[in-house]
Chain A
Amino acid sequence: MAKGVKPRVKVPKTAAAGETITIKTLISHKMESGQRKDGDGNIIPRSIINRFTTDFNGQNVIDVTIEPAVSTNPYFQFEAVVPEAGEFKFTWYDDDGSVYEETKKVAIG
Protein backbone atom coordinates (compact mmCIF):
# COMPACT_ATOMS: atom_id res chain seq x y z
CA MET A 1 0.00 0.00 0.00
CA ALA A 2 1.44 3.37 -0.98
CA LYS A 3 2.36 5.47 2.05
CA GLY A 4 0.27 8.33 3.36
CA VAL A 5 -2.58 8.00 0.87
CA LYS A 6 -5.51 9.96 2.15
CA PRO A 7 -8.77 10.77 0.32
CA ARG A 8 -10.62 14.04 0.73
CA VAL A 9 -14.11 14.44 -0.68
CA LYS A 10 -16.54 17.36 -0.79
CA VAL A 11 -20.21 16.44 -1.09
CA PRO A 12 -23.18 18.52 0.11
CA LYS A 13 -24.88 16.99 3.14
CA THR A 14 -28.39 17.47 1.77
CA ALA A 15 -29.96 17.78 -1.66
CA ALA A 16 -33.43 18.02 -3.16
CA ALA A 17 -34.64 14.78 -4.78
CA GLY A 18 -33.39 14.77 -8.36
CA GLU A 19 -31.01 17.69 -7.81
CA THR A 20 -27.67 17.86 -9.61
CA ILE A 21 -24.80 18.46 -7.20
CA THR A 22 -21.10 19.17 -7.66
CA ILE A 23 -18.64 16.73 -6.15
CA LYS A 24 -14.95 17.46 -5.62
CA THR A 25 -12.46 14.74 -4.82
CA LEU A 26 -8.80 14.78 -3.95
CA ILE A 27 -6.46 12.04 -2.82
CA SER A 28 -2.87 12.39 -1.68
CA HIS A 29 -0.78 10.20 -3.97
CA LYS A 30 2.61 10.75 -5.52
CA MET A 31 1.55 9.53 -8.98
CA GLU A 32 5.05 8.40 -9.90
CA SER A 33 4.91 8.66 -13.67
CA GLY A 34 7.62 6.21 -14.67
CA GLN A 35 9.40 9.01 -16.53
CA ARG A 36 11.72 10.14 -13.76
CA LYS A 37 15.20 8.81 -13.08
CA ASP A 38 16.87 8.36 -9.72
CA GLY A 39 20.33 9.58 -8.72
CA ASP A 40 21.99 6.59 -10.44
CA GLY A 41 20.16 7.18 -13.70
CA ASN A 42 17.71 4.31 -13.29
CA ILE A 43 14.07 4.84 -14.18
CA ILE A 44 11.86 5.09 -11.10
CA PRO A 45 9.03 2.65 -11.90
CA ARG A 46 5.54 3.91 -12.53
CA SER A 47 3.21 3.79 -9.54
CA ILE A 48 -0.04 5.65 -9.91
CA ILE A 49 -3.73 5.60 -9.15
CA ASN A 50 -5.00 4.18 -12.45
CA ARG A 51 -8.76 4.29 -11.95
CA PHE A 52 -11.32 6.26 -9.95
CA THR A 53 -15.02 5.46 -9.68
CA THR A 54 -18.01 6.98 -7.95
CA ASP A 55 -21.25 5.11 -7.29
CA PHE A 56 -24.44 6.21 -5.56
CA ASN A 57 -26.62 3.55 -3.98
CA GLY A 58 -24.95 1.05 -6.29
CA GLN A 59 -25.42 3.03 -9.52
CA ASN A 60 -22.41 4.43 -11.34
CA VAL A 61 -21.84 8.16 -11.59
CA ILE A 62 -18.41 8.27 -13.20
CA ASP A 63 -15.56 5.89 -14.01
CA VAL A 64 -12.21 7.52 -14.76
CA THR A 65 -9.28 5.77 -16.46
CA ILE A 66 -6.15 7.55 -15.29
CA GLU A 67 -2.71 7.83 -16.93
CA PRO A 68 0.56 9.15 -15.44
CA ALA A 69 -0.13 12.61 -16.89
CA VAL A 70 -2.63 13.32 -14.13
CA SER A 71 -0.93 15.48 -11.48
CA THR A 72 0.28 14.37 -8.06
CA ASN A 73 -2.60 14.39 -5.57
CA PRO A 74 -5.21 13.63 -8.25
CA TYR A 75 -8.17 15.97 -8.24
CA PHE A 76 -11.50 15.34 -9.94
CA GLN A 77 -14.58 17.51 -10.01
CA PHE A 78 -17.83 16.36 -11.63
CA GLU A 79 -21.59 16.46 -11.20
CA ALA A 80 -23.99 13.82 -9.94
CA VAL A 81 -27.74 13.46 -9.82
CA VAL A 82 -29.18 12.62 -6.39
CA PRO A 83 -32.48 10.77 -7.01
CA GLU A 84 -33.06 9.81 -3.37
CA ALA A 85 -31.30 9.75 0.00
CA GLY A 86 -28.31 7.48 0.05
CA GLU A 87 -24.59 7.09 0.05
CA PHE A 88 -21.85 7.96 -2.39
CA LYS A 89 -18.99 5.50 -2.61
CA PHE A 90 -15.67 6.71 -3.96
CA THR A 91 -13.02 4.19 -4.97
CA TRP A 92 -9.45 4.72 -6.08
CA TYR A 93 -7.40 1.85 -7.55
CA ASP A 94 -3.61 1.87 -7.14
CA ASP A 95 -1.13 0.23 -9.56
CA ASP A 96 0.18 -1.75 -6.59
CA GLY A 97 -3.19 -3.40 -6.07
CA SER A 98 -4.36 -1.27 -3.14
CA VAL A 99 -7.87 0.08 -3.19
CA TYR A 100 -8.80 3.24 -1.27
CA GLU A 101 -12.40 4.01 -0.41
CA GLU A 102 -14.40 6.87 1.01
CA THR A 103 -18.15 7.17 1.54
CA LYS A 104 -20.42 10.18 2.02
CA LYS A 105 -24.08 10.13 2.90
CA VAL A 106 -26.56 12.55 1.40
CA ALA A 107 -29.98 13.28 2.94
CA ILE A 108 -32.95 14.61 1.03
CA GLY A 109 -34.03 18.00 2.32
Chain B
Amino acid sequence: MKTKIIITSIAAIAVSAGSLMADEDAQLVIDDEAMTIQADAPAHMENVDEVLSGWIFRSRETQALQMDDFDNPAFIFVDQALDLWDKVDGTEGKSCSSCHEDVAEFAGLRTKMPRVEDGNLVTMEELVNECRTDRMGAEPWKWSKGNMTAMTALIGLQSRGMPMNVAIDGDAAPYWEKGKELYYTRVGQLDMSCSNCHEDNYGNMIRADHLSQGQINGFPTYRLKNAKLNSMHGRFKGCMKNIRATPYKEGSPEFKALELYLASRGTGLAVETPSVRN
Protein backbone atom coordinates (compact mmCIF):
# COMPACT_ATOMS: atom_id res chain seq x y z
CA MET B 1 0.00 0.00 0.00
CA LYS B 2 1.45 3.32 -1.01
CA THR B 3 0.62 5.19 2.17
CA LYS B 4 2.24 2.56 4.32
CA ILE B 5 5.48 2.70 2.33
CA ILE B 6 5.69 6.47 2.66
CA ILE B 7 5.20 6.34 6.40
CA THR B 8 7.86 3.66 6.75
CA SER B 9 10.35 5.77 4.75
CA ILE B 10 9.75 8.78 6.95
CA ALA B 11 10.24 6.65 10.00
CA ALA B 12 13.46 5.27 8.54
CA ILE B 13 14.81 8.74 7.87
CA ALA B 14 13.91 9.80 11.38
CA VAL B 15 15.80 6.83 12.76
CA SER B 16 19.00 7.52 10.84
CA ALA B 17 18.89 11.24 11.57
CA GLY B 18 19.08 10.77 15.30
CA SER B 19 21.21 7.65 15.46
CA LEU B 20 24.77 7.21 16.59
CA MET B 21 25.49 3.53 16.15
CA ALA B 22 27.14 1.16 13.71
CA ASP B 23 24.08 -0.12 11.87
CA GLU B 24 21.76 2.85 11.86
CA ASP B 25 18.70 1.18 10.45
CA ALA B 26 18.83 -1.93 12.57
CA GLN B 27 15.44 -2.87 13.89
CA LEU B 28 14.83 -5.24 16.77
CA VAL B 29 12.31 -7.76 15.55
CA ILE B 30 11.70 -10.87 17.64
CA ASP B 31 9.40 -13.57 16.26
CA ASP B 32 7.89 -11.09 13.78
CA GLU B 33 7.19 -8.58 16.54
CA ALA B 34 8.98 -5.24 16.18
CA MET B 35 10.20 -3.81 19.50
CA THR B 36 10.16 -0.09 20.17
CA ILE B 37 13.84 0.67 20.68
CA GLN B 38 13.58 4.44 20.63
CA ALA B 39 11.05 6.97 21.77
CA ASP B 40 10.71 10.64 22.60
CA ALA B 41 12.20 11.28 26.02
CA PRO B 42 9.62 11.79 28.78
CA ALA B 43 9.07 15.39 29.84
CA HIS B 44 10.99 15.06 33.11
CA MET B 45 14.28 14.44 31.27
CA GLU B 46 15.76 17.89 30.71
CA ASN B 47 18.95 17.00 28.91
CA VAL B 48 17.89 14.17 26.61
CA ASP B 49 15.52 14.36 23.63
CA GLU B 50 15.33 10.73 22.69
CA VAL B 51 15.50 7.55 24.72
CA LEU B 52 17.35 4.64 23.13
CA SER B 53 17.46 0.96 24.02
CA GLY B 54 20.82 -0.51 24.93
CA TRP B 55 20.32 -2.98 22.05
CA ILE B 56 21.18 -0.21 19.61
CA PHE B 57 24.69 0.22 20.99
CA ARG B 58 25.79 -3.38 20.68
CA SER B 59 27.66 -5.05 17.82
CA ARG B 60 25.70 -6.70 15.04
CA GLU B 61 26.56 -10.18 16.32
CA THR B 62 25.32 -9.36 19.82
CA GLN B 63 22.17 -7.80 18.42
CA ALA B 64 21.50 -10.94 16.39
CA LEU B 65 21.57 -13.08 19.51
CA GLN B 66 18.54 -11.28 20.89
CA MET B 67 16.48 -11.51 17.73
CA ASP B 68 15.75 -15.20 18.00
CA ASP B 69 14.41 -16.81 21.15
CA PHE B 70 16.46 -19.86 20.43
CA ASP B 71 19.74 -18.08 19.75
CA ASN B 72 19.16 -15.99 22.88
CA PRO B 73 21.07 -17.88 25.61
CA ALA B 74 18.89 -16.27 28.30
CA PHE B 75 16.14 -18.68 27.42
CA ILE B 76 17.91 -21.61 29.05
CA PHE B 77 17.26 -19.78 32.28
CA VAL B 78 13.68 -18.97 31.32
CA ASP B 79 13.22 -22.73 30.84
CA GLN B 80 14.69 -23.29 34.28
CA ALA B 81 12.20 -20.78 35.69
CA LEU B 82 9.34 -22.66 34.06
CA ASP B 83 10.50 -25.73 35.97
CA LEU B 84 10.73 -23.70 39.17
CA TRP B 85 7.20 -22.41 38.54
CA ASP B 86 5.83 -25.90 39.01
CA LYS B 87 8.17 -26.96 41.76
CA VAL B 88 6.70 -27.35 45.24
CA ASP B 89 8.81 -25.50 47.77
CA GLY B 90 8.33 -24.60 51.44
CA THR B 91 6.24 -25.62 54.42
CA GLU B 92 2.88 -24.96 52.75
CA GLY B 93 3.47 -27.56 50.05
CA LYS B 94 2.82 -25.10 47.26
CA SER B 95 4.43 -24.15 44.00
CA CYS B 96 3.93 -20.86 42.11
CA SER B 97 1.43 -22.68 39.91
CA SER B 98 -0.70 -23.63 42.93
CA CYS B 99 -2.01 -20.06 43.06
CA HIS B 100 -1.01 -18.57 39.71
CA GLU B 101 -2.55 -20.64 36.99
CA ASP B 102 -0.32 -19.36 34.18
CA VAL B 103 2.67 -17.05 34.29
CA ALA B 104 1.05 -15.20 31.37
CA GLU B 105 -1.29 -13.58 33.89
CA PHE B 106 1.65 -11.32 34.76
CA ALA B 107 1.55 -9.59 31.38
CA GLY B 108 1.98 -5.87 31.99
CA LEU B 109 3.51 -6.16 35.47
CA ARG B 110 7.08 -5.49 34.35
CA THR B 111 6.08 -2.20 32.71
CA LYS B 112 5.05 -0.80 36.07
CA MET B 113 7.84 -2.02 38.31
CA PRO B 114 9.10 -0.90 40.73
CA ARG B 115 5.88 0.34 42.33
CA VAL B 116 4.63 1.65 45.66
CA GLU B 117 2.53 -0.66 47.83
CA ASP B 118 1.26 0.56 51.19
CA GLY B 119 3.69 3.44 51.10
CA ASN B 120 6.74 1.22 50.36
CA LEU B 121 8.60 1.00 47.08
CA VAL B 122 8.76 -2.66 46.04
CA THR B 123 10.64 -4.39 43.21
CA MET B 124 9.78 -7.59 41.38
CA GLU B 125 12.33 -9.51 43.42
CA GLU B 126 10.53 -8.44 46.57
CA LEU B 127 7.16 -9.49 45.19
CA VAL B 128 8.57 -12.94 44.44
CA ASN B 129 10.15 -13.31 47.86
CA GLU B 130 7.03 -12.05 49.59
CA CYS B 131 5.08 -14.90 47.96
CA ARG B 132 7.77 -17.36 48.92
CA THR B 133 8.07 -16.40 52.56
CA ASP B 134 4.48 -15.36 53.35
CA ARG B 135 2.46 -17.74 51.22
CA MET B 136 4.71 -20.71 50.43
CA GLY B 137 6.61 -20.87 53.69
CA ALA B 138 9.78 -21.10 51.62
CA GLU B 139 13.21 -19.52 51.97
CA PRO B 140 13.61 -16.21 50.15
CA TRP B 141 15.83 -16.30 47.08
CA LYS B 142 19.02 -14.26 46.92
CA TRP B 143 18.58 -11.12 44.86
CA SER B 144 21.00 -11.85 42.03
CA LYS B 145 21.41 -15.60 42.14
CA GLY B 146 20.20 -17.98 39.43
CA ASN B 147 16.75 -18.79 40.82
CA MET B 148 15.69 -15.17 41.21
CA THR B 149 17.13 -13.89 37.96
CA ALA B 150 15.54 -16.77 36.06
CA MET B 151 12.16 -16.09 37.64
CA THR B 152 12.25 -12.31 37.10
CA ALA B 153 13.26 -13.05 33.50
CA LEU B 154 10.26 -15.35 33.05
CA ILE B 155 7.86 -12.84 34.59
CA GLY B 156 9.40 -9.91 32.71
CA LEU B 157 9.13 -11.84 29.45
CA GLN B 158 5.35 -11.78 29.78
CA SER B 159 5.51 -8.00 29.25
CA ARG B 160 7.96 -8.11 26.35
CA GLY B 161 7.05 -5.61 23.67
CA MET B 162 4.92 -3.48 25.99
CA PRO B 163 6.11 0.08 26.67
CA MET B 164 7.69 0.88 30.04
CA ASN B 165 5.38 3.11 32.06
CA VAL B 166 6.22 3.40 35.76
CA ALA B 167 4.35 5.80 38.02
CA ILE B 168 6.50 8.60 39.40
CA ASP B 169 3.84 10.80 40.97
CA GLY B 170 1.81 10.57 44.18
CA ASP B 171 3.32 8.06 46.60
CA ALA B 172 6.16 7.34 44.21
CA ALA B 173 7.34 10.95 44.02
CA PRO B 174 9.70 11.01 47.03
CA TYR B 175 11.39 7.77 45.89
CA TRP B 176 11.71 9.14 42.38
CA GLU B 177 13.31 12.35 43.63
CA LYS B 178 15.77 10.32 45.69
CA GLY B 179 16.62 8.18 42.66
CA LYS B 180 17.13 11.24 40.50
CA GLU B 181 19.45 12.75 43.09
CA LEU B 182 21.52 9.56 43.20
CA TYR B 183 21.71 9.51 39.39
CA TYR B 184 23.34 12.91 39.27
CA THR B 185 25.60 12.57 42.34
CA ARG B 186 29.29 11.96 41.79
CA VAL B 187 30.76 9.14 43.84
CA GLY B 188 33.86 7.04 44.17
CA GLN B 189 37.56 7.53 43.57
CA LEU B 190 36.84 8.32 39.93
CA ASP B 191 34.29 10.88 41.13
CA MET B 192 31.69 10.07 38.51
CA SER B 193 27.92 10.02 38.45
CA CYS B 194 25.66 7.84 36.31
CA SER B 195 24.91 10.88 34.17
CA ASN B 196 28.57 11.49 33.27
CA CYS B 197 28.58 8.38 31.10
CA HIS B 198 24.98 7.59 30.34
CA GLU B 199 23.59 11.07 29.76
CA ASP B 200 26.61 13.14 28.76
CA ASN B 201 28.44 10.52 26.74
CA TYR B 202 26.12 7.86 25.41
CA GLY B 203 27.14 6.85 21.92
CA ASN B 204 30.81 7.56 22.62
CA MET B 205 33.43 4.93 23.28
CA ILE B 206 34.89 4.42 26.70
CA ARG B 207 38.02 2.47 25.85
CA ALA B 208 36.53 -0.31 23.74
CA ASP B 209 32.99 -0.14 25.11
CA HIS B 210 30.20 1.59 23.25
CA LEU B 211 28.37 3.58 25.95
CA SER B 212 24.60 3.19 26.11
CA GLN B 213 22.04 5.35 27.89
CA GLY B 214 22.04 2.86 30.76
CA GLN B 215 18.41 1.91 30.23
CA ILE B 216 17.00 -1.00 32.23
CA ASN B 217 14.11 -2.08 29.99
CA GLY B 218 15.90 -5.33 29.12
CA PHE B 219 16.74 -6.59 32.59
CA PRO B 220 17.49 -9.16 33.77
CA THR B 221 19.94 -9.35 30.90
CA TYR B 222 22.20 -12.13 29.65
CA ARG B 223 25.69 -10.64 29.59
CA LEU B 224 28.27 -12.18 27.28
CA LYS B 225 30.86 -11.17 29.86
CA ASN B 226 29.64 -13.61 32.51
CA ALA B 227 27.40 -15.84 30.41
CA LYS B 228 24.41 -15.58 32.74
CA LEU B 229 21.42 -13.43 33.67
CA ASN B 230 22.26 -10.24 35.57
CA SER B 231 19.83 -8.36 37.81
CA MET B 232 19.49 -4.57 37.82
CA HIS B 233 20.91 -4.14 41.29
CA GLY B 234 23.73 -6.51 40.45
CA ARG B 235 24.58 -4.29 37.49
CA PHE B 236 24.37 -1.10 39.55
CA LYS B 237 26.84 -2.68 41.96
CA GLY B 238 29.19 -3.48 39.11
CA CYS B 239 28.98 0.06 37.76
CA MET B 240 29.77 1.54 41.17
CA LYS B 241 32.73 -0.79 41.60
CA ASN B 242 34.02 0.28 38.19
CA ILE B 243 34.24 3.86 39.41
CA ARG B 244 35.83 2.69 42.64
CA ALA B 245 32.89 3.57 44.82
CA THR B 246 31.58 1.45 47.68
CA PRO B 247 28.40 0.03 46.16
CA TYR B 248 25.04 0.15 47.89
CA LYS B 249 23.52 -3.22 48.69
CA GLU B 250 21.16 -5.08 46.40
CA GLY B 251 17.64 -4.38 47.65
CA SER B 252 18.78 -1.24 49.47
CA PRO B 253 16.57 1.87 49.51
CA GLU B 254 19.18 3.62 47.35
CA PHE B 255 19.16 1.02 44.59
CA LYS B 256 15.39 0.72 44.66
CA ALA B 257 15.01 4.47 44.29
CA LEU B 258 17.58 4.45 41.49
CA GLU B 259 15.71 1.59 39.81
CA LEU B 260 12.50 3.64 39.86
CA TYR B 261 14.23 6.70 38.43
CA LEU B 262 15.97 4.67 35.71
CA ALA B 263 12.75 2.90 34.81
CA SER B 264 11.16 6.32 34.31
CA ARG B 265 13.99 7.36 32.00
CA GLY B 266 12.98 4.49 29.73
CA THR B 267 9.29 5.38 29.48
CA GLY B 268 8.08 4.42 26.03
CA LEU B 269 10.77 1.84 25.32
CA ALA B 270 9.56 -1.73 24.93
CA VAL B 271 10.31 -4.24 27.65
CA GLU B 272 13.01 -6.48 26.14
CA THR B 273 13.41 -8.93 29.01
CA PRO B 274 15.45 -11.05 28.74
CA SER B 275 17.87 -9.06 26.61
CA VAL B 276 21.44 -9.87 25.50
CA ARG B 277 24.21 -7.40 26.20
CA ASN B 278 28.00 -7.54 26.29
Q: Within the complex, which residue of A10, A71, A73 is in contact with B76, where a contact is CB–CB below 8 Å? A: A73
* A71 with B70, Cβ < 8 A, contacts A8-B76, A28-B76 known: no
Q: Judging by beta carbons under 8 Å apart, are A4 and B146 in contact?
A: yes
Asked if B77 lies at the interface with its beta carbon under 8 angstroms from chain A, I say yes
Tally inter-chain residue pairs, CB-CB below 8 A: 29
With a CB–CB cut-off of 8 A, which chain B residues contact A27? 76
Label chain B's interface by main secondary structure. Answer: helix
**Interface membership of chain A positions 1-35, coded 1 if the CB is closer than 8 angstroms to chain B and 0 otherwise:** 00010101010000000000000101110000000
Interface size, chain A (Cβ < 8 Å)? 12
Q: Judging by beta carbons under 8 Å apart, are A10 and B146 in contact?
A: no
Q: Within the complex, which residue of B79, B80, B227 is in contact with A72, where a contact is CB–CB below 8 Å? A: B227
Asked if B141 lies at the interface with its beta carbon under 8 angstroms from chain A, I say no
Nearest-neighbour CB distance to chain B for A19, whole angstroms, equals 19
Asked if B266 lies at the interface with its beta carbon under 8 angstroms from chain A, I say no
Interface size, chain B (Cβ < 8 Å)? 12
User: A27 CA to B228 CA in the complex, in Å?
Assistant: 13
User: A26 CA to B75 CA in the complex, in Å?
Assistant: 10
With a CB–CB cut-off of 8 A, which chain B residues contact A73? 73, 76, 227
Q: Within the complex, which residue of A8, A10, A24, A75 is in contact with B79, where a contact is CB–CB below 8 Å? A: A8
With a CB–CB cut-off of 8 A, which chain A residues contact B75? 8, 26
Q: Judging by beta carbons under 8 Å apart, are B80 and A10 in contact?
A: no
Q: Judging by beta carbons under 8 Å apart, are B77 and A10 in contact?
A: no
With most chain A CB atoms within 10 A of its CB, the pick from B71, B76, B228 is: B76
Q: Judging by beta carbons under 8 Å apart, are A6 and B76 in contact?
A: yes
Nearest-neighbour CB distance to chain B for A13, whole angstroms, equals 14
Look across to chain B and name the residue whose beta carbon is closest to the beta carbon of A10.
B70
User: A10 CA to B70 CA in the complex, in Å?
Assistant: 7
User: A33 CA to B31 CA in the complex, in Å?
Assistant: 34
In the complex, chain A residues 60-75 whose Cβ is within 8 Å of any chain B Cβ: 71-73, 75
In the complex, chain A residues 25-50 whose Cβ is within 8 Å of any chain B Cβ: 26-28
With a CB–CB cut-off of 8 A, which chain A residues contact B80? 4, 6, 28
User: A73 CA to B83 CA in the complex, in Å?
Assistant: 18
**Interface membership of chain B positions 33-69, coded 1 if the CB is closer than 8 angstroms to chain A and 0 otherwise:** 0000000000000000000000000000000000000
Nearest-neighbour CB distance to chain A for B250, whole angstroms, equals 21
Q: Judging by beta carbons under 8 Å apart, are B76 and A24 in contact?
A: no
With a CB–CB cut-off of 8 A, which chain A residues contact B83? 6
Nearest-neighbour CB distance to chain A for B106, whole angstroms, equals 22
User: A75 CA to B72 CA in the complex, in Å?
Assistant: 10
Interchain Cβ contacts under 8 Å between A and B, 27 examples: A4-B80, A4-B146, A6-B76, A6-B79, A6-B80, A6-B83, A8-B70, A8-B75, A10-B70, A24-B70, A24-B71, A26-B70, A26-B73, A26-B75, A26-B76, A27-B76, A28-B76, A28-B77, A28-B80, A71-B227, A72-B227, A72-B228, A73-B73, A73-B76, A73-B227, A75-B71, A75-B73
Binding site for B on A (CB under 8 A): 4, 6, 8, 10, 24, 26-28, 71-73, 75
For the complex of A and B, 10 pairs with smallest distance between CB atoms = A72-B227, A28-B76, A10-B70, A73-B73, A24-B70, A8-B76, A73-B227, A6-B76, A26-B76, A6-B80
- Given A6-B83, A26-B73, A28-B77, output 7 extra A-B contacts at Cβ < 8 Å: A6-B76, A8-B76, A26-B70, A72-B227, A72-B228, A73-B73, A73-B76
